[in-house]
Amino acid sequence: MAAAPVAVQEDDQIQFAQSAPYDEYVHASTLHTLQRTISDDAGEMSFLVVSQIMELYFGLIRFELREAQRLVRDDEVWGALEPLRRAGLHLEGLNASWRTLRWMSPADFNRFRGQLGEASGFQSAMYRHMEFALGLKSETLIRPFRRQRAVYAQLTRDIREPSLWDEVVALLARRGNDIPAEVLERDRTRDHEPDPAVEDAWVRVYAEPNPGNDLWLLAEALTEVGEQFSDWRYLHLKAVLRTLGDKPGTAGSSGASWLRRSMARPVFPELWSARTHM
C-alpha cells in the first residue's frame, strides 16, 4: 500500500508532498477535464454539466436501490429503510437539476442542438440500469447498446435479474400473503403486471399504520421513491416541451410523445392502486 502524502508547514500554508488528499479521494482534477463542449455557445456548458450531474445521480440512485433490494431479499426490512430514504433524497437532488436549465429557450437550445448529432439522453445506459432496478423493463430499450459489448452485457444481466419491486413482492409472500406463483416466477425481462393479490396485501399492510409495522414503513419509503421518480419524468417532459415542443428529439427519438407514454408506466403499481381500496 502506498504511503500517505506527507503534509508539511510552509509559510503558514499546509503543503503536500504529492497531490492533495481531497483530489486523491474525489478526483476533482479528473472530473473537471470531462466538460468538452462541441460548440462555441456558452450555454452548452450548462447543458453538458447538468447532463453529467444527472448521470452521476442515476448511478447513485441505482446503488441505493440495489442495496435496499439486497436487504429486502435478506428479510432485513428495517435496514432497507435507510438506503430507500437516501434514494428518495437523491431523487430530489436529481429533480432539482432541471431548475438550473430553466433559462434555456428554444433559441438557446437550437444554437448548439444541431452539433449534438445522434447523441440523446435516450442512450443513457445508467438511466436504464436505474429503471431496471425500479422494475421498469423492456428488452427493446437495450438494443441501441449492442455494439458496446461490455455495456450491453451489463444491461442484459440487469434486465434478467429481479428488480427491487420483485424482491418486495417476494417478501410479501414470505410474510404470509397469498401471492400467485405466476407473479413470483414471472419473466423478469418484462414489466411487472399489477396483480390483485399484491394490491390486497398492501391494503392489509396499511390497515396497521404504526411505527412498529416494518412493512408499512417500507411501503411509505417506496411511495416516496415512486413519487420522486414520477416528478423526474414530469420535469423531464416540461423541459423538453419548453425547448422542443412536440418536435422529435435528438437522434430521431420521439421526444415529448415518448415521455408522455413512459409516464403511464408507474413504478410499484400496486402501492398506488391499493389506495383506492383503503
- Enter the C-alpha cell of residue 60: 447513485
| Coil vs helix vs strand at 96 | helix
Is 223 annotated as a binding-site member? no
- β partners of residue 8: 15
Q: Measured between alpha carbons, how far is 267 from 276 in angstroms, rounded to an integer? A: 17
- Rounded (5°) CA angle 262-129-54: 80
Residue pair 69/133 in contact (Cβ under 8 Å)? The answer is yes
Q: Measured between alpha carbons, how far is 81 from 94 in angstroms, rounded to an integer? A: 20
Q: What own/partner pairs with CB < 8 Å and gap ≥ 24 does 41-50 have?
A: 41/111, 41/112, 43/103, 43/104, 43/108, 43/109, 43/111, 43/112, 44/111, 44/112, 46/100, 46/101, 46/103, 46/104, 47/101, 47/104, 47/109, 47/112, 50/97, 50/100, 50/101
Is 175 annotated as a binding-site member? no
Q: Residue 271 carries which side chain, given as an amino acid letter?
A: L
Q: Residue 102 carries which side chain, given as an amino acid letter?
A: R
User: Angle 43-73/125-134 helices, nearest 10 degrees?
Assistant: 30
Q: Residue 103 carries which side chain, given as an amino acid letter?
A: W
Closest to 141 in 3D by CA, of 126, 237, 50, 239: 126
Is 113 annotated as a binding-site member? yes
Pick out the residues of the known binding site for substrate: 113, 250
Pick out the residues of the known binding site: 113, 236, 250
Pick out the residues of the known binding site for heme: 236
